Structure 1
Amino acid sequence: MAYTFPSRHRTLALASAGALTVLGLLSACGTGSDTVSSPQKVPGAAAPATGDATNGDTPPGAASGASTPADDSAARPDGSSGSTGSAPSAHSSGTRAAPQGTSAGSTRCHTSELRATVGRNDPGAGQENFPLVLTNVSSRTCTVRGYPGAAFVDASGKQLGPDPKRSPGSPSTVTLQPHESAWAGLTFANPEVSEARAATPATLVVTPPDERDPLRVRWTAGPVPVGGNASSVYVTVLRPGTGP
């Protein structure tokens, strides 16, 4: 069978189609660096310098320990935080330090949270018996335990007689909700009966258990023994309530 050469018209058509195909491929692949799209900056102060923060690239400065904004959601289209630094964010929670001189778990009533009063006398057999009352005036629940300190002083602040002695007792923790009270007995022999040397105090100074700052109560119950025979004043442990 004889081979027939294609016509000149058909040959030119095929050559033109091939040339167009080559030009299309060259255009698609690019022939120079100025035909490649450059990365676009993301607007906003928290945006990375180049690229997209969601593509896994490390933002400039992160590898060198540079700080990142507390809330960098503007750098991520999905609004998630991209902070990887060790600095806490403004929204992170933390434990507030306990005030100086107190422990974080302390429930003890402090002097500033208490009010001291002296209840009505309940005399018997030549003995004077007063309830010394501590009331929680704070907005929190706190505790007292043991013996309060007490001292009688005159108008100039000078102590009258020795510190009261502690009556035997078993201390227990008394929990005071706001406005609740605990009381300790303050007892002494009537000076007229005991013939002890007496004086009339202006103030009873009361120090809550384990505290240094005192409370002051005006004393209006007359003379107390301050020296001589049967001059001792006693105080009992604190217990719930305002008196017997």
Structure 2
Amino acid sequence: MRRLVAFGALAVALTACGNPDQQAGRSTVPVAPGSGSGTTAAAPPAPTPASTPAASTPQASGRCTAAVLAAEVQPGDSGAGNRYAKLVVTNNGPAPCTLSGYSGLQLLDASGQPVPTDLQRTPDPGPAPVVVPPKARAAANLHWTVVPTDAEPVDGPCQPEAARARAIPPDDTQPMSLEWGLGPVCGGGRIEISAFYAA
């Protein structure tokens, strides 16, 4: 009987001295390393920066037209029956414009009627784009003779004298009006003209 009592007391003592973790209410399940709440999540990949758009190319200058140009003839040197002048145009528009090529030209009398004009293009200088900023100028060289040719009279004007002229910019259809007043143009009204260049 004493042995049974002693065995029961020993069993109670062993139960009371269980695992210290269980006594404290702590789990004995091992925790995988790195799975705790203090672990920092990996940062998301940085967004790819958007491609920078290429700088816009300035638009090419528009064509110079009679709407923005003012024209005049500036006399040059003369001698041995030859006359020289320049057809000068000024850009009165708000933006640069481009001239490329030859002007048209028609001589007129005081009443606005056509006077014989035979315009001949020369290659010096030849056609090349000329950007004309606002208030800037471009010019074309003019050359003609005052010596009568063929059946033209020699005892008076070889041709009717022009008072005015109409000039048409390259690739345009509208004319510019300008004063002439530089005497008759002999040789049937033959005038040599160069392409426009910066003046």
Per the TM superposition, whether the score is higher than 0.5 is yes
Over residues 105-138 of structure 1, what are the superposed CA-to-partner deviations in whole Å (9 max), with x where a residue is unaligned? 6611111110001112221332100100011011
| Structure with greater Cα Rg | 2
Q: Which residue of 2 aligns with 1:239?
A: 197
Distance change in 2, residues 1:105/1:182 (3 Å):
closer
Distance change in 2, residues 1:124/1:226 (3 Å):
closer
| Structure 2 length-normalised TM | 0.61
Q: Which of 156, 170, 181 is the matching residue for 1:220?
A: 181
Aligned residues: 135
1:127 paired with 2:85, answer no
Q: CA deviation at 1:164?
A: 0.9
1:168 paired with 2:123, answer yes
Q: Which protein has the bigger helix share?
A: 1
1:202 paired with 2:158, answer no
Map 1:92-103 → 2, pairs under 5 A: none
Q: Which protein has the bigger strand share?
A: 2
Distance 1:123 1:161 in 2: 21
Structure 1 gaps of 5+ residues are: 1-103
Distance 1:185 1:172 in 2: 14
Distance 2:118 2:183 in 1: 18
Distance 2:145 2:119 in 1: 12
Map 1:36-185 → 2, pairs under 5 A: 107-169=62-124, 170-185=126-141
Distance 1:106 1:146 in 2: 15
Distance 1:137 1:225 in 2: 33
Distance change in 2, residues 1:195/1:233 (3 Å):
farther
CA RMSD of aligned residues (A): 2.2
Structure 2 gaps of 5+ residues are: 1-58, 153-157
**For 2:67, what is the secondary structure of its paired residue?**
helix
Identity rate of aligned residues, in percent? Answer: 31
Which structure ranks higher in relative contact order (CA pairs < 8 Å, sequence separation ≥ 6)?
Answer: 2
**For 2:86, what is the secondary structure of its paired residue?**
strand
Over residues 124-169 of structure 1, what are the superposed CA-to-partner deviations in whole Å (9 max), with x where a residue is unaligned? 3321001000110111011101100001011232211133111134
